[in-house]
Amino acid sequence: MKTIIVFSVVMMSCLAQRSPYAGRLPIGFPYVPPATAPAPSSDLSNRFGDAEAGTTTTIRLPLEALGDAELVQRLSKLPIDQQPFWLINWRALEQNRNNPQTYPQRENSFVDNVSNSLLVS
């Protein structure tokens, strides 16, 4: 009887070390599923009857313009000091979206480099 109690206490202390909800992968390394090839095009890609899918383009407009491209064109002709702030700000944000400023990542001395073969199990 004592051996069963000792065995169960040891088992419970071992199982209590990590919650089953935390998963089996190491902490700090999320699971990245393997990349798959794109699916072949099907009839769903052309379900609206367009002659060629992806040939239509839309004009990017600021939200404040409420879809009025003519308003944006008229305001763009004004001098910069007379243009509304939302238009100037939108242009700056669009320029940042098209050419983002990126910085290289530095090595982290606190995290060991773990190969992907250890992460996928």
Residue 3 within any structural domain of the chain: no
Mean pLDDT of the chain: 78
Please state the domain count of the chain: 1
| C-beta separation of 50 from 56 below 8 A | yes
Residue 39 within any structural domain of the chain: no
pLDDT at 78 over 60: yes
pLDDT at 98 over 80: yes
Specify the pTM: 0.42
Task: Give the integer Cα–Cα distance in Å for 73 and 68.
Answer: 9
Residue 89 within any structural domain of the chain: yes
Residue 67 within any structural domain of the chain: yes
Residue 21 within any structural domain of the chain: no
Residue 91 within any structural domain of the chain: yes
Residue 116 within any structural domain of the chain: no
Residue 63 is part of which domain span? 59-100
User: What percent of the chain has pLDDT above 70?
Assistant: 63
Give the pLDDT confidence score for residue 105 in this predicted structure.
79
Residue 84 within any structural domain of the chain: yes
